[in-house]
Structure 1
Amino acid sequence: MAESVLSTVLGNVGNLAVQEASFLGGVTLEVAFLKDELMRLQGYLKDAESKRRSGNATVTILMSQIGDAAYEAENVIEAVDYMKKRNDIKKGFMGAISRYAHIPSDLTTLHKVGVEIQRVRRKLSEIFQSIERLKINLDSGVVDESLEDYDLRHLRNDDVVMVGFENEYKEIVDKLVQGEKMLSVVSIVAMGGAGKTTLARKVYISSQVEQHFEALVWVTVSQKFKVIDLLKEILKQILSDVDQSTKIDEMKEYEVGKKIHDILIKKIYLVVLDDVWETDTWEQINRTIKAFPDTSNCSRILLTTRKEDVAKHVEMQTHVHALRSLDEEKSWLLFSSKALPSYRISSIHNLDKYEELGRKLTRKCAGLPLALAVLGGYLSKNLNTQAWSDVLLCWPSTKDTQMMRAIIARSYENLQNHHLRSCVLYLAAFPEDYIISVSALINLWIAEGFIPHTPKHTLEKTARMYVSELAQRSFVQVVQTSIIHERAEEIRIHDIIRDWCIEEASQDGFLDVIHETTSGQVGASSSHNKIFYRSSFQNLSGQILQASPNLRTLFGFELSSLSLPDVRFLRVLHVENTRLKNFSTVIGGCIHLRHLSLRGCGRVKVPSSIRKLLYLQTIHVDSNVPSSLWDIPTLRHVDLCCISLPRSVQILQTLQELRMWPTDDEVGKDPMPILEMLPCLVVLELHCFIPEAMSSGAQGFPRLQELRLEGCYFNKWTMEVGTMPKLSHLSLDMFDMLDEIEIPDGLLHLPSISFVSLHARAIACSSHSTAEGLKQKGCEVTIVTVPL
């Protein structure tokens, strides 16, 4: 991964403005020399990587040293850039002095930085000497890193994998909605990669199932699950009152189980338990109280597992459906739908030859849908008969999982660029069966520097193209697609691919995934002494107390508690459902931080020192955040519970997404006059603002495309002609408001509006003409009213 590391570092430091800071003196020249040496080093990496993969241990060590040196160089260059940023935003007389004079604190820091630059340059000099001894050649070839902009309409993974399972699908649906009235279980059993989860999800969202059952629940069990967490997730899905879901986390296991029982006893329900591994899972779920009552009303449990004894162990009427491998013809249908998609058929010559080779390859896949999908995705990027013949000739002699690993590795190596390869390995950071938000993943990739700057696209657009590429190759499965935008909103990674990513990421020193409690350091693998710059801790008890001093990324999922160590070079901190300690004392020192996401971590106190994080791009925190956040010039995506509006938006020139709840003293003010001045804002979501009136000026919101207002009440909304020229989607959710809601007639003047959704108790009579006018413009209008 040294090539990826070096390219990422060069991309990051290339955007820094160190050379513009005259007060830095001779350090600026030293930084320039350091950049030049990193660029020179990049030219050798192609040859070095090929030697490493051939098993040259000395080159492997050298590649690790290159990665270390690149990260150290980025740290020191960014420290200089940080001094410039800090001085640029200082105000008043002392700010003017510090910008143009060498104050003692700056002189001390510059001296330390200069010493550090010399140390890194000496390390690079030793690396160049090693390159000469190892006879590693300079390779200045240019790699094409362009990607096709795939249309997600061709990437419906569930439809693709359903090829060949039409009969099974109908049989399972029939067993769920027909038959005996007593509570019973339908189990889908098959090996990994056979399509169990995809088939179950297709059944789950079918119209027959949705119409038959009054309550639908889907939970993933996995190998390491906690009963209390599983029950809480089930309860959150069946609660009709969304506000009560916040109270669930405080409930005990018996209370949660009884609440589930009391709700489901009145309903015809279907509960899906996906990916069950242990025979006693059902007993564990019902150990304190029988959560799933049998009222003889045709309720069902749908279970997926790799083990037949698990399927048969549940002590009730059980229908076991052993999912068969695909036959030769169905295998060909699935493979060809990926390798030779219909929208590309017309441009393919020698189609008969491709079919001849393809049918031979499908027989090698032994009817496994995952193998067929990944191989097909890989070969769709290599549409020449020689490449297909080479795959056939080099086919591994192993079967099942080992065969799958060989296919995954080939597709991974074939990815267009190292940026994409980094994005694939990064998926290992998420827990097993985790549903990944695409927008959150994109923010993480950008924060890590994996997404290159291109003249044609924004970083977000390029990242979405990467997601489409990985879906096309079946590295990820699309779970949820936006009906409006026709793009992936949620994805998941198959267990087999995830296991491969974890192993590959560990071998390369890219990422360490820790599942069990360890006494070692953060950033140091529990199984060996390799130092990692990224660590993901998942489902652990105990505290993390120590860290590698150079740790750049820290993930935490479902930890009992987390005491943040000294991580001053941290770029990413992403923690979910974990009690945090000492956060407020540590975070101000993480000046390199790009991504801060604390979901389900309680009321974490965010200090005013947050203003020091001058590189912060993404922040998602569930607690109060001080207004000093608005002093950060690099914000791109902000999702906050409570915060005051910025006094000025002059510094917020990069902000693209904003989701926020107001503080009590801002709640009655119109937020639009301030927010409409944000020049790059694309998505705006506001909750619980209650102004008397709202107004949008003629020049307001120049790039806004999506606007969602939830629980925001106002008597009048005035829109001047010329406002929101790019707004396409507007959603108003005002169910809690008792008065009639009026649709602003100003919407008729918006040139790009294409979708309007309104949820309310009632709408004013005058709004019907506005709605009709929008429809005549070709806008889709959805109005849902639920009277008291």
Structure 2
Amino acid sequence: MAQSAVSAVLGNVGSLAVEETSFLCGVTLEVAFLKDELIRLQGYLRDAESKRRSGIETVAILLSQIRDAAYEAENVIEAADYMKKRSMIKKGFMGAISRYARLPSDLTALHKIGVEIQRVRRKLSEIFQSIDRLKIDLDNQVVDDAVEDYDGLMHQHCKDDVIMVGFEDEYKEIVDKLVEGENMLSVVSIVAMGGAGKTTLARKVYTSSAVKQHFESLVWVTVSQKLKVIDLLREILKQILSDRDQSTKIDDMNEYEVGKKIHDILVKKRYLLVLDDVWETDTWEQINRTIKAFPDAANCSRVLLTTRKGDVANHVEMPTHVHALRGLDPQKSWELFSSRALPSYKRSGIHDLDKYEELGRKLTRKCDGLPLALAVLGGYLSRNLNTQAWSDVLLCWPSTKDTQMMRGIIARSYKDLPNHYIRSCLLYIAAFPEDYIISVSVLINLWIADGFIPHTPRHSVEKTARMYVSELAQRSFVQVVQTSIIHECAEGIRIHDILRDWCIEEAAQDGFLDVIHETTSGQVGASSSHNQTFYRSSFQNMSGQILHASPKLRALFGFGLSSSVSVSVSLPELRFLRVLHVENSRIENFSEVIDLCIHLRHVRLRVLGYTMVPSSIRKLIYLQTMDVPRCLYVSSSRSLWDIPTLRYVHLSSFPLPKRVQIPQNLEQLSMWAADDESEKDPMPILEMLPCLVVLELQYYKPKTMSFGAQGFPRLQELILEGCSFNKWTMEVGTMPKLSFLSFTDCRLGEGFPDGLLHLPSLRFVAKVLAQDHSNDSTLDGLRQKGCKIIGLFGREECY
């Protein structure tokens, strides 16, 4: 992915201010030369990438060198920019000195930067000589891939329609088996090869109204090949417990304690347990080995199991109904393929539709009724509506079936993606664990932080990123599993394991991403299979190991890292880290990261226990995302709010910014009230945030909550949880774009304010309140205006 590396670097370098200041002396000119050489280099990459795919090993080495040089260039240019910006925000006497004169330490650092730029330029010179020897052509017509306009796709394919095309009978049969029949605990198994639609069908069953009404407790867990019984049981217990605060205690329980707790809860309920993607025959015995966690209370409880192996389905020692999922018949295959390749909104503009249908039916038969193949191929051909392209696919169809056929379809569709930015975005998804439901907003923050969303004059980077999600869904690279009721677009996505495996292999070829499990060995930033340098590493389900780091690493992911994994040993060495994303893990000494990792853009720590956030956080002047909901701030300084690039903040018990500290770029803010500030009204300060789109506040309890006439000019979502106040004051003109307002466990005193009736864009009000306001006159007025009121008093509902 050398092309994406150079383009991302150029995009980032273009936004730096190093050329606007005399502070950098002669370094400014060196930076300009370096940028020009990167632009020139970019022009060769398309031809070089084509030669690499042809198997020319020397070209592959050259592309790796180009990527390395591009990243090194960005590091040194950003180091210069960092010096300049830090000098501008220093306070006091030393700050004044550094702004108007150069200290000896500054001169030494500038000299080092100049030497480093010269070294990178020499490396680029050697690369240009190699380009000449390998006869790689400069593509003068297209220096960079164009960014397509995806406006027409923004609301397409936001809901999964695969199982509605072809599996209606299977869906009804499985639902009936679950909600009817004998009282004793029994199993329904769905068996089929990879890509046949097992998980999609199971999820449709799981979310059906009949199943939701029949079972009192529903649990979904993915088992996968790397089964860890204790982690699986802990996840099940977290799902069946209503008290969210229990999660920390659960992580400290042993296997017997968790199993007994599950048993004690489920013995009183009719439950459905979904075990998705089971690989081993003894899985059921494994999860019940210390205690029978899943009781048979003779109340029609059920287990729904999906697997690729028939012996797994038949091994469970309880009444079992095995449903072997067949491939789609020719007609259903055509319906699925044509819904993707020739969607209704495109048909009216297609000439020679009969010819497309003739070719499409032949291609459909080649897919052997495999839904994933039909969906991906259909998505690819929908973006190539010319009969010659369809004929070429038919002529080049591989003679082998199943896995090899799928890999060929995926590779062709991947290569056809509109630009290298979106190709990088797809490979990035492989950093998440198998069957993981990925938050679209989190993914967008990651893409932006790593430089894979280009700046365009027509769209914000957030809108461009959402267009990319829509494009990937349209091509069936990802499956949308959660849709925003407010914006009617994707909120949660997942990637099929076959597609994910392909992406992992593709990403590993030239060091884009390395995914490491406990079964592999190696170090962060160095491949587990060879000596190639990796710039992004994802560690998943590791325990009892020390994770060593390559100093060149730009992104580090951690999922399910146990307390015995010493991540902190190597973090301070990662000087060029842009992304630190850790979930369901333990991490220590986070404060040590801050001092050297000055390039950080994205910090997400969803970790076990609290994380200490030091006042030195102010050094991260490029930080965009700070998502640390369980944080302890160890200084009275308000330095976080001095970071001008902040876009997304999620913190607990953290000081509110002062009026003079408001970060102008902040778009999303989620905060718990600090104990000493919970009775203060935060709105007079927060309403001055000019770019804020989403605001979530928890446990604020002022007597009055006030909204000024010019407040929150761009706010679209306001989410209040555990808040209480006697009265609201809302001036006319406040929150002109607010469309969604949510209350959970709030006490509203005098009830809903009349001012809500004057909000021009309000479309949804969600309420799960501590007292009954169902007959509130304001709510009646909102209903009459067409606003939807979601949720019932005393009962939590999914909205």
Q: Shorter-chain TM-score category?
A: over 0.9
Q: How does 1:443-522 map to 2 (within 5 A)?
A: 443-516=445-518, 520-522=522-524
Q: Equivalent residue for 1:288?
A: 290
Do 1:741 and 1:763's aligned partners in 2 also have CA atoms closer than 8 Å? no
The two structures have a TM-score, normalised by structure 2, of: 0.96
1-side partners of 2:738 and 2:174: how far apart?
Answer: 44
Shift of 1:764: 5.5
Do 1:334 and 1:369's aligned partners in 2 also have CA atoms closer than 8 Å? yes
AA partner of residue 762 (structure 1): Q
1-side partners of 2:280 and 2:117: how far apart?
Answer: 55
Q: Equivalent residue for 1:332?
A: 334
Do 2:248 and 2:608's aligned partners in 1 also have CA atoms closer than 8 Å? no
1-side partners of 2:399 and 2:507: how far apart?
Answer: 25
Q: Equivalent residue for 1:642?
A: 653
Do 1:660 and 1:686's aligned partners in 2 also have CA atoms closer than 8 Å? yes
2-side partners of 1:64 and 1:782: how far apart?
Answer: 53
Q: How does 1:268-287 map to 2 (within 5 A)?
A: 268-287=270-289
AA partner of residue 569 (structure 1): F
Do 2:30 and 2:114's aligned partners in 1 also have CA atoms closer than 8 Å? yes
Which residue, out of 707, 719, 732, partners 1:708? 719
2-side partners of 1:175 and 1:448: how far apart?
Answer: 47
Q: Equivalent residue for 1:2?
A: 2
Deviation larger for 777-786 or 293-302 = 777-786
Secondary structure, counterpart of 1:110 in structure 2: helix
Q: Equivalent residue for 2:183?
A: 181
Matched, 1:685 2:696: yes
1-side partners of 2:226 and 2:552: how far apart?
Answer: 30
Secondary structure, counterpart of 1:580 in structure 2: coil
Q: Name the CA shift for 1:373/1:106 in 2 (closer, same or farther; >3 Å).
A: same
Secondary structure, counterpart of 2:792 in structure 1: strand
Secondary structure, counterpart of 1:290 in structure 2: coil
Do 1:636 and 1:654's aligned partners in 2 also have CA atoms closer than 8 Å? yes
Q: Equivalent residue for 2:789?
A: 781
Q: Equivalent residue for 1:109?
A: 109
Q: Equivalent residue for 1:316?
A: 318
Matched, 1:61 2:61: yes
Deviation larger for 403-412 or 552-561 = 552-561
Do 1:152 and 1:488's aligned partners in 2 also have CA atoms closer than 8 Å? no
2-side partners of 1:176 and 1:120: how far apart?
Answer: 64
Q: Equivalent residue for 2:88?
A: 88
Q: Equivalent residue for 1:666?
A: 677
Which residue, out of 529, 545, 568, partners 1:563? 568
**Unmatched 5+ residue regions in structure 2?**
none
AA partner of residue 81 (structure 1): D
Secondary structure, counterpart of 2:332 in structure 1: helix
Q: Equivalent residue for 2:353?
A: 351
- 1:464-484 alpha-carbon deviations (Å, 9 max, x no partner): 111111011111111111122
Q: Name the CA shift for 1:756/1:574 in 2 (closer, same or farther; >3 Å).
A: same
Shift of 1:344: 1.6
Q: Equivalent residue for 1:369?
A: 371
AA partner of residue 771 (structure 2): A
2-side partners of 1:418 and 1:539: how far apart?
Answer: 30
Shift of 1:545: 4.3
Shift of 1:763: 4.3
- 1:91-118 alpha-carbon deviations (Å, 9 max, x no partner): 2332122012111111110010010010
The two structures have a TM-score, normalised by structure 1, of: 0.97
Q: Equivalent residue for 1:751?
A: 760
Shift of 1:517: 5.8
Secondary structure, counterpart of 1:709 in structure 2: strand
Secondary structure, counterpart of 1:160 in structure 2: coil
1-side partners of 2:69 and 2:170: how far apart?
Answer: 55
Shift of 1:285: 0.6
- 1:528-549 alpha-carbon deviations (Å, 9 max, x no partner): 0101111111111233343211
2-side partners of 1:448 and 1:232: how far apart?
Answer: 33
Do 1:332 and 1:362's aligned partners in 2 also have CA atoms closer than 8 Å? yes
Q: Name the CA shift for 1:690/1:504 in 2 (closer, same or farther; >3 Å).
A: same
Which residue, out of 706, 717, 739, partners 1:728? 739
Matched, 1:262 2:264: yes
Do 1:183 and 1:299's aligned partners in 2 also have CA atoms closer than 8 Å? yes
Do 1:543 and 1:563's aligned partners in 2 also have CA atoms closer than 8 Å? no
AA partner of residue 771 (structure 1): L
Matched, 1:629 2:640: yes
Q: Equivalent residue for 2:30?
A: 30
Do 1:150 and 1:469's aligned partners in 2 also have CA atoms closer than 8 Å? no
Which residue, out of 593, 598, 603, partners 2:600? 593
Shift of 1:761: 3.3
2-side partners of 1:563 and 1:310: how far apart?
Answer: 40
Matched, 1:390 2:415: no
AA partner of residue 681 (structure 2): D
- 1:668-704 alpha-carbon deviations (Å, 9 max, x no partner): 1100011011110000000001111111111111111
- 1:252-286 alpha-carbon deviations (Å, 9 max, x no partner): 21121111111111111111100000111000110
2-side partners of 1:263 and 1:770: how far apart?
Answer: 40
Q: Equivalent residue for 2:301?
A: 299
2-side partners of 1:303 and 1:3: how far apart?
Answer: 43
2-side partners of 1:564 and 1:628: how far apart?
Answer: 26
**Unmatched 5+ residue regions in structure 1?**
none
2-side partners of 1:268 and 1:783: how far apart?
Answer: 24
Secondary structure, counterpart of 1:379 in structure 2: helix
Percent sequence identity over aligned pairs: 76
Matched, 1:761 2:763: no
Do 1:741 and 1:762's aligned partners in 2 also have CA atoms closer than 8 Å? no
User: RMSD of aligned C-alpha atoms?
Assistant: 1.6
Q: Name the CA shift for 1:258/1:447 in 2 (closer, same or farther; >3 Å).
A: same
Shift of 1:246: 3.7
- 1:621-678 alpha-carbon deviations (Å, 9 max, x no partner): 1212353211211110111122010123545011000001121111111000110111
Do 1:741 and 1:760's aligned partners in 2 also have CA atoms closer than 8 Å? no
AA partner of residue 563 (structure 1): S
Do 2:603 and 2:626's aligned partners in 1 also have CA atoms closer than 8 Å? yes
1-side partners of 2:722 and 2:557: how far apart?
Answer: 33
Q: Name the CA shift for 1:461/1:152 in 2 (closer, same or farther; >3 Å).
A: closer
Secondary structure, counterpart of 1:543 in structure 2: coil
Q: Name the CA shift for 1:783/1:308 in 2 (closer, same or farther; >3 Å).
A: closer
Q: Equivalent residue for 2:709?
A: 698
2-side partners of 1:785 and 1:165: how far apart?
Answer: 37
Q: How many aligned residue pairs are there?
A: 785
Q: Name the CA shift for 1:673/1:26 in 2 (closer, same or farther; >3 Å).
A: same
